[in-house]
Amino acid sequence: MDIETQRSRPTRSGSRFLHQGEWAAMYAKDHESKRKRKMAEISQALTASPVDVAALRRMAISEGGLLTDEIRCKVWPKLLNIQTDDLLDKPGAALRENNKDYQQVLLDVRRSLRRFPPGMPDEQREGLQEELIDIILQVLLGNPQLHYYQGYHDIVVTFLLVVGEKLATALVEKLSTHHLRDFMDPTMDNTKHILNYLMPIIERVNPEVHDFMQRAEVGTIFALSWLITWFGHVLSDFRHVVRLYDFFLACHPLMPIYFAAVIVLYRETEVLECECDMASVHHLLSQIPQDLPYETLISRAGDLFVQFPPSELAREAAQQQSQRTAVSTFKDFELVSAQQRPDMVLRRRFKEQLAKEVESKAVMARPRSSRFVKLAVMGLTVALGAAALAVVNTALQWAPKIDLQLFP
């Protein structure tokens, strides 16, 4: 039923038609009713003994996410299995002395002005920037196996703005030793491995888009800043950022790469109408539209995760290592890499390693998949019941209860 039919639909009595304003009022009332019901369900899950973490994950994944920052302060720690009654005290001035990461962190934080709410007084923003520096340095000092990367601060600032310094420090530390662990290695190997899941996902859903991107030799470098900042660097609306964080915190660590895939697939028409060359396609894909249908894309990412779990894609992702058409010429790779800001250190490592790969072996052309029929996944959009349940179950199996690396 189209919207005009809905607007003129008679009431039960049939005595009159509902006008547009009345439909809007009914929709607003229904929306508020669902919101209140969801808040009650979250409260019930939080007060259960033990806390119903599975229910909290479903709430974080389902439409609207966790609704408010006040709720996120209570739920995010539960999703990461953090006890909030024994948080670390604020670090002293000695934290910054002789710290090898301090200067780079300072430079990145000073450049992060747009990540703070517009109109925030300078004094308040500067105070938060100092707290941001301390959180990052404290996590790195307590975990010497972790290596700072540019873009890390984009993730940390999100937690700071939502939950405050002390709780943000605990959340970021757990996140850094679990979901983000592979980005914080001394080399790019595990980050490249995660990026290698992108093209197999796209191929299974839309072979035409996959083949076009292969011919353009665009690779996956356009998605690097999306992945390592959890989209915090590329989305301008903070509401969209925290909605995605609800989703990612409740899911498997690879969910951001599935979300990256659905963004590409959503832009199918734009991609296929683009000039089929590396620079053009990279430029198009690296610019994320700010008006994306986020709830629809979140639901679709959940669908894809259920249909094509990481275990099914692992072999193809591993094969990508020796089939990287994006670096068939190092000059082109260097050109597109220079267009992205937040991850220069990672890209520098990436280029050095890929240059060695290009010198040591010829880039192999990937054989065409037998999947010629475009799957209807993007049109299915499971009503997040079954999809969310499967994603939640996977997340619970993985959940950070022990010190674990995703790709040992």
Model pLDDT, residue 270: 96
Query: Per the domain annotation, does 236 fall within a domain?
Result: yes
The answer to whether residues 211 and 168 belong to one domain is no
Task: Give the integer Cα–Cα distance in Å for 112 and 90.
Answer: 22
3-state secondary structure of 149: coil
Cβ neighbors of 131 (< 8 A, separation 6 or more) are 160, 165
The answer to whether residues 206 and 291 belong to one domain is yes
Please name the amino acid found at residue 287.
Q
Global pTM? 0.76
Task: Give the integer Cα–Cα distance in Å for 294 and 280.
Answer: 25
Model pLDDT, residue 157: 96
Domain C-terminal end among 177, 206, 226: 177
Model pLDDT, residue 30: 77
Model pLDDT, residue 90: 73
Domain C-terminal end among 159, 177, 195: 177
Print the domain residue range for 196: 187-398
Give pLDDT tens digits for 5-39: 444 444 444 445 666 777 677 767 777 889 999 99
Which H or E run contains 389? helix 385-398
The answer to whether residues 74 and 115 belong to one domain is no
Cα atoms found within 13 Å of the Cα of residue 331, Cβ hemisphere only:
0
The answer to whether residues 155 and 262 belong to one domain is no
Give pLDDT tens digits for 186-241: 988 889 999 999 999 999 999 999 999 999 999 999 999 999 999 999 998 999 99
Model pLDDT, residue 366: 40
The answer to whether residues 41 and 62 belong to one domain is yes
All residue ranges of the chain with pLDDT < 70 are 1-19, 23, 27, 320-408
Contact 4, 10 (CB under 8 A): no
The answer to whether residues 48 and 98 belong to one domain is no
The answer to whether residues 223 and 309 belong to one domain is yes
Instruction: Verify cis geometry, omega within 30 degrees of 0, for the bond prior to 50.
Output: yes
Q: Helices 165-176 and 69-79 meet at what angle, rounded to 10?
A: 40
Look up residue 312 and give its two tokens: 């099914």
Model pLDDT, residue 394: 59
Domain C-terminal end among 128, 153, 177: 177
Query: Per the domain annotation, does 13 fall within a domain?
Result: no
> Domain of 98: which CATH number?
1.10.8.1310
Please give the tally of structural domains in the chain: 3
The answer to whether residues 277 and 150 belong to one domain is no
Model pLDDT, residue 72: 97
Burial category of 383 from C-beta neighbours within 10 Å (exposed 0-12, middle 13-18, buried 19 and up) = exposed
The answer to whether residues 170 and 192 belong to one domain is no
Model pLDDT, residue 258: 97
Of 181, 175, 140, 182, nearest to 158 by C-alpha is: 175
